Copies of this chain bind each other. A is one copy, B any other.
Amino acid sequence: MLRVAVLGAGRIGKIHAANVAMNRNAKLVAVADPFGDAASSLADLLSCEASQDPIPLIERDDVDAVVIGTPTDTHVSLMLHAVRLGKAVLCEKPIDLDIAKADAALHEIERLNGRVMLAFNRRFDPSAQQLRQTIDAGTIGEVRQVIITSRDPGLPSREYLKHSGGIFRDMVIHDFDMARWLLGEEPTEVMATASRLVDPALTEVDDFDTVMVQMRTASGRQCHINCCREAVYGYDQRFEIFGSAGMLQNENLRPTTVRRWTRHETEAGEPLLNFFLERYADAYRYELDAFIAAVQAGSPMPVTPFDGRQALRLADCALESALSGRSVRV
């Protein structure tokens, strides 16, 4: 039974804490959050202890592992504190918005043989797993092109955007990780273009809302990513993998499979699932299962800090390319 503390009781911390509480191989010891009674009300719900300060929780003897869902700028220090105490860590992305700090953290984790998993939850979506397994089974031969569509249902608040690190580091970073994972090779060259088509006033926060990225690997495999902060029809998350012997696609998820035919519409489906907490509810659960299983088995982490670092590097390259109008070597 792995004894787990969850740091952060916000949107994402709540998900992780509930998944720990439901996992048969784990015990939720405590949750921490500095803001108001976030920690205590979550602790009440899930029957565990609460704390405003995460540090004592990391240091408790009866805590084997910590899940970090705190603000980005606290990730590195909390992670390293836990690693130094020999605790396993599941850390939300990104490691840090600054790649130099991320690299330094990676170096330290490696030096200490730290057990850290990066929380790229989308890899654990059942459809994503099926895509990867079907590629591995050779069904579509050698991968040639990966096409990723990733559109959010609506623009976040200005406040959120101000501290987000920008669309490439905040939103597309998930797609960069999926691109690497599905391509099976490291991208070596990045070309990006970025526009403000949802809200021209995003100049205020020096950000974009609609982007396209094109990448290639050393062997010539290609990847396209398109992202937009607003899709009025809902959260749109699709992958296409084209290979020498076939093609794979996944479709969006819906709450039910009901379709309507009326005088005004034909074969209309139900709306898509609202946003990532709903769309990737299963993925968050399987991610936690994978973390706990890896810690207990002492096997390699399914997603490593290096994966987090690489996705961040691709985001930086994409931003540079979008600003300079040139392709950037990774």
Q: Residues on A close to B: CB < 8 A? A: 22, 126-127, 129-131, 134, 139-142, 144-145, 147, 149, 151, 189, 191, 193, 195-198, 210-212, 214, 216, 220-222, 224, 226, 228, 230-234, 236, 240, 242, 244-263, 265-272, 325-327
Tell whether, in the assembled complex, residue B142 and residue A197 are in contact, meaning their CB atoms are under 8 Å apart. yes
Number of copies: 4
Tell whether, in the assembled complex, residue B145 and residue A226 are in contact, meaning their CB atoms are under 8 Å apart. yes
Given that A258-B249, A270-B130 are contacting pairs, would A226 and B228 also be in contact in the complex, using a CB cutoff of 8 Å?
Answer: no
Q: Report the Cα distance A236→B267, complex, angstroms.
A: 12
Tell whether, in the assembled complex, residue B263 and residue A245 are in contact, meaning their CB atoms are under 8 Å apart. yes
Tell whether, in the assembled complex, residue A233 and residue B268 are in contact, meaning their CB atoms are under 8 Å apart. no
Q: Report the Cα distance A233→B266, complex, angstroms.
A: 7
Tell whether, in the assembled complex, residue A254 and residue B242 are in contact, meaning their CB atoms are under 8 Å apart. no
> Which of chain B's residues has its CB closest to A246's CB?
B262
Tell whether, in the assembled complex, residue B216 and residue A214 are in contact, meaning their CB atoms are under 8 Å apart. no
A228: chain B residues at CB < 8 Å are 144-145, 242
Q: Min CB distance, A130 to chain B, in Å? A: 4
Top 9 nearest A-B pairs (CB, nearest first) are A195-B220, A246-B262, A233-B261, A268-B268, A127-B256, A251-B257, A267-B269, A247-B261, A191-B191
Q: Report the Cα distance A214→B228, complex, angstroms.
A: 16
A139: chain B residues at CB < 8 Å are 260, 262
Tell whether, in the assembled complex, residue A234 and residue B127 are in contact, meaning their CB atoms are under 8 Å apart. no
> Which of chain B's residues has its CB closest to A209's CB?
B144
Q: Report the Cα distance A196→B219, complex, angstroms.
A: 9
